Amino acid sequence: MRRGYAIGVCLAAAAALACDGGEAADAGAVRVDAGPPAPGVDAGPPTCEPEGLPEPLACNGHPELCGRSYDAVTFPMTHNAMSSEEEEWIAPNQGFGLWRQLEDGVRGFMLDVYEQDGVTTLCHAICALGSRPLAEALADLRRFMACHPAEVLTIIVEPHVEEAALVAAFDEAGLVPSMHVQALGDPWPTLAEMVTSGRRLLVFTEASTSETAWLHPAYEHAWDNDYANETADDLDCVANRGEDTNDLFLLNHFLTRPIAMRSLAEEINHDPFFTERVDRCVTEVGRAPNLVAVDFYDVGDLFTVVDHLNGL
C-alpha cells in the first residue's frame, strides 16, 4: 500500500495503461451470495442458500489446514485489493473486483480507506481514480462468508480516516460478530477453532494504535519486507515494518514502476521465479510467510505457490 501517491504519478498512470494492455482471465467462477444486505448497503451479487460446515471439515478448502494454527498457514493476499480493471479503476492493481477474488480463492485483502464526501470509502489516495463505499464492499465479504462457512479471511487496512469511522463501516456491513480477537502473546487458534467459533475474520490496521479489540495494529503482530520495488532484482526478504520476531510474516511480492501494471506482474508472478523467490525467503528467514501479497493475482502462479508453502 503505497503512501504519498503523487498527482503527477497518477497522471502518468493513464498513459502507462494505454501501453500495458493485457486481457483479464475468463470469468468462469460460479457467483453466490447469502442473505439480505446490511441496512443501507446495495444488494450486491445474487443470493444463495448457505449450508452448514462441510463434513469432513475442510478449512480454506483443505482438511489438512484445519488442525494448523493461523500463524502456521500461508494465505494468498491481494495488494490494493479494491482497485481493479473489472470495476474500471484508473491504474488498477488487480484484474477483478473483491467478489471475484473471493470466488477465485484469495483469502487476504489489503484495503486503503479514505473519507469522500462524508462517506468512508475505498480508494487509492485520489478517489477520482476509483472508489467504492467501504461498507458496501465489506457486505460482499459478509455474504461470501455466509455461503462459505469454513473460510478464514484476513484484511489489512491502510486507514486515512478516524478509527470510529472505520469501525462503523464494519458494523454497518454486519461483520463484527465474525471478528477474531488476538491478544499479543497468546497462542493463535487453529483454523478449525476459528471456523467452529464463527470468528474467522482477522482485521489488521496499519495505524500504530487501536482502541478496538478486533482491530489489531498490524506491525505489533506481523512484519513485512520492503514494498517499494521496481524490478525483480529489488525483491528481498529483509524486515521493513515490524520486528522479524513478530508472529506473522507478510511477503510483499509486487512491482511498482512507477505504478502497478499487468506487465509487471507478468515479470514476477510466474514459476519458476515465484517459487524460487519464496523458497529463498524461507531459507533466509527460517520460516514461511503467512500472507503473500501480489498485484494482478490472476497472472501467474500465486495459488500454486501458496499450496507449495502450505505443503499441499
| Residue 52 binned pLDDT confidence (cut-offs 50, 70, 90) | confident
pLDDT greater than 80 at residue 116:
yes
| Residue 54 binned pLDDT confidence (cut-offs 50, 70, 90) | confident
More confident residue, 221 or 32: 221
| Residue 47 binned pLDDT confidence (cut-offs 50, 70, 90) | low
| Residue 18 binned pLDDT confidence (cut-offs 50, 70, 90) | very low
What pLDDT does residue 284 have? Answer: 96
pLDDT greater than 60 at residue 109:
yes
What pLDDT does residue 13 have? Answer: 40
Task: Give the class (CATH, top level) of 34-309.
Answer: alpha beta
Sign of the alpha-carbon dihedral angle for 148, 151, 152, 158: negative
Q: Average of pLDDT values for 103-123? A: 97
Q: Average of pLDDT values for 211-233? A: 97
Q: Average of pLDDT values for 237-255? A: 97
249 - beta bridge partners? 223
Residue 38 neighbours by CB distance under 10 Å: 18
What pLDDT does residue 214 have? Answer: 98
CA atoms within 13 A on the CB side of 278: 32
Task: Tell me the pTM.
Answer: 0.86
- Sorted by where each begins, the domain ranges of the chain are 34-309
What pLDDT does residue 20 have? Answer: 40
* List of residues 6+ apart from 164 with CB closer than 8 A: none
| Residue 125 binned pLDDT confidence (cut-offs 50, 70, 90) | confident
The pLDDT tens digits of the residues spanning 158-190 come to: 999 999 999 999 999 999 999 999 999 999 999
Q: Average of pLDDT values for 233-250? A: 97
